[in-house]
Structures are given as structure tokens and as C-alpha cells.
Amino acid sequence: MKIEPFKLERYFDNYEFTTQYLLSSSDCDGYSLEYVLNCATSAEKKLWNDVRLGYTEARGSLLLRQTIAQQYKTITENDILVLSPGEANFILMNVVLEAGDHVVCMTPAYQSLYQVAKSIGCNISFWKPENEHWHYNPDDLENLIKPETKLIIINFPHNPTGSFLTKAATERLVAIARKHNVLLFSDEMYSQMAHDPANEIPSFCDLYENAITLWGMAKSFGLAGLRLGWVATKNQTLLEKMLGYKDYLTICNSAMSELVSVIALNHKEKFIEPNLKKIRKNIKLFSDFHAAHQDFFDFPVPLAGSTAFIKLKIKESGLVYCERMVKETGIMLLPAEMFEFGNQHARIGFGRGNMPDVLERWGNYIKKSPGHKLS
């Protein structure tokens, strides 16, 4: 299968490890191995010391799947397949879809969520936000469904907008998928990251028998380097097909990553809570920054996850502005072009500790640079 370049990943590849100030990352600062092991109980430390670096169980170790299952209400270790998140998405689409199938996917979206389906030859309809406060209306999604719709793809908490579902909207989406008998792929990579814990919603795999959900260690846990995630579903036929496809990709997971994941999941409050604290603090800092630069950009405050999608009120395109800024200041912003969503927005990431420093630099650049040509 031929596939288009993954624009966001190519853009990050240009700057992520060479520029000084990342203002668009969706992951939080990565925790150190020392931090993880300091969280571990003595029994977990023993497991770590004894870890064998041979092949591992293809579907993920029993211990890890049992630990993951505790995150859900109705899911057991048999309903889980452990793999890398991008691999999960790639395998799912290849197992489920054929050329000519119809797929509904949110936009803007992390490109792989629709690009794999597009490369298979599917027809995609995009579920657009109702407004620039990034509200997604389930009725709009239902209007996109056709008799040949095979798959609905959603992502809440949403990258890049920080949009989230209410409990009522969650139930409505399940009702829509069930009524039309469509498989629902829910990318929940930013799960348990509601900024107000009272707004948390259940995972779709606990609500709908034909939902398949994705979560992993990269975002909520600040452990992106483990390259580990999982899918959870009650659709056993689908899970077995995905396992068979995985044999042609990674076959099995890294033993070390699996064990670090077990430890982090068992002590998740020590991983997710500090990340959420940092995100809330950075959103406050960014709101103050916005108050001083309202003529320059709009800032719809995100409800969940680690990112927001701001609207740049400038004449030049987001890509031109971001390229100029990264070259002149070392600050990397991710323009909307990388989400194939016009050219006026940019993603902000709230998971990094150096936000005050970066905002000071950006503020100075806004003041000094004559090239901004406000529209």
C-alpha cells in the first residue's frame, strides 16, 4: 500500500530535536526511568531486576493485560491487545476496511486516523466542529452516515483542539453507532486528562460492544519513549484478526516497556496527576499571555488533553509564520497545515515545564517582528 507522508510527523522531524523551544508538543515532559523505579514497590523492583530480554507474548504479557483491564469497567485481560499506538491504528484499518468502504472521521485529526483508510481506497466524510470553540455535534455526525459506512473514528480528548464530550454526547454517539450498526474506533490516547475530573467520561469500549478503543503510555502518563499502547474491545473476532496482522509488524512488544508500563499503571496518580497539574498551570499562563495579545490570536480554552488550537489573526499563512518564527527564535509552533485544516490555526502544547520562558520569548517576537501584518 502506498501512503502519503504524515505531515505532522515530518514537521516534528525537522525541528523536535534541533530547536530549543517546543510550544506545540502533545506529550508531557517524559519521566525518567529513575522516577518510575522510585515509584515501584519492592515486588515491582524485583520484577524489573529479573526482566528477561527475550521475545514476549504477542498479545502482551498477562500481567500487563490484567493491569490494563483494571482501567475499564467491563473489559478483561482477554479483551486487550498490546502494541504501539500507530501500529494499532494501521492494523485496525487494514483488518476492517476495503476499497470503496465509507468512513466517518473527525477533522482536524491526527493524520493517521484518516490517512490509512484513505490509502486503502475508502471514501472519507469529515465530522467538522460546529464552531471555533471546537464543539462537535453528534447530530452532524449522524447526518454523515450512509448505508455503506463501515467505521466511525473519533478522538476525545481531542488532539489538537482539546475538545471533549459531555456524558450526554457520549451516550448519543453510542446510540448512533448502535442504531446504524457501525464499528466505532475511539482514539483515547489522552484518556483521564479532563481538566476538571468531574467531566470524565467512560471509555467507549465499556459502553458499546462494537467499539474498539486505543490508549497508551505516551500522553496521559508522560512515557512516550516506551512506544507502548493497547486496544480494548469486546469484539473478539476483530481482536484475533488484529493479533494475526501484528505478526507481520512488531510481532511482540519490548519486555522493558511492558514492565515500566505495569509500574506506571499501578501508580498512575504519580504520573497523570503531575501532568494535569502542569497542564492546568500552563493553561493559566497561556490565558494571561492571550489577554495581552488578543489582537494577535484567539484562544478557545481546551477542556481536556494537553493541547489547544488557536486562531492566528494574521495575513500570512500559519505555515509561513511558524517557519519564520522557528528560524528566528527557536520556538516551534505546529501550523494547521499539518492537520490539513486550512492555514489559520496553530497547536499549542501545555505539557512542558518551560512555558514561562517560551511565552516571554514569543511575546518579545510579537512586539519586535514587523512581519506579522495583522489582518
Ligand X SMILES: Cc1ncc(COP(=O)(O)O)c(C=O)c1O
Contacting positions for ligand X (CB under 6 A) = 26, 84-86, 110, 155, 159, 187, 189, 216, 218, 224, 229
Work out how close the CB of 173 gets to ligand X at its nearest, in angstroms, rounded to a whole number: 17
Work out how close the CB of 84 gets to ligand X at its nearest, in angstroms, rounded to a whole number: 6
Q: Which is nearer to ligand X, 16 or 196 (CB)?
A: 16
Work out how close the CB of 218 gets to ligand X at its nearest, in angstroms, rounded to a whole number: 3
Q: What span, in angstroms and rounded, lies between the C-alpha atoms of 164 and 303?
A: 6
Q: Which is nearer to ligand X, 83 or 322 (CB)?
A: 83
Residues 204, 210, 212, 213, Cα dihedral to 10°: 0
Work out how close the CB of 257 gets to ligand X at its nearest, in angstroms, rounded to a whole number: 11
Q: What span, in angstroms and rounded, lies between the C-alpha atoms of 72 and 64?
A: 14
Cβ-contact 104, 151 below 8 angstroms: yes
Q: What span, in angstroms and rounded, lies between the C-alpha atoms of 367 and 3?
A: 41
Q: Which is nearer to ligand X, 26 or 56 (CB)?
A: 26
Largest separation between any pair of C-alpha atoms in the chain = 61
Q: Which is nearer to ligand X, 159 or 344 (CB)?
A: 159
Q: Which is nearer to ligand X, 30 or 274 (CB)?
A: 30
Work out how close the CB of 319 gets to ligand X at its nearest, in angstroms, rounded to a whole number: 19
Cβ-contact 205, 214 below 8 angstroms: no
Cα 34 from chain centroid?
26
- Non-local CB neighbours of 312 within 8 Å, separated by 6+ positions: 296, 297, 318, 321, 344, 345, 346
Q: Which is nearer to ligand X, 94 or 329 (CB)?
A: 94
Work out how close the CB of 211 gets to ligand X at its nearest, in angstroms, rounded to a whole number: 16
* CB closest to ligand X, residue no: 218
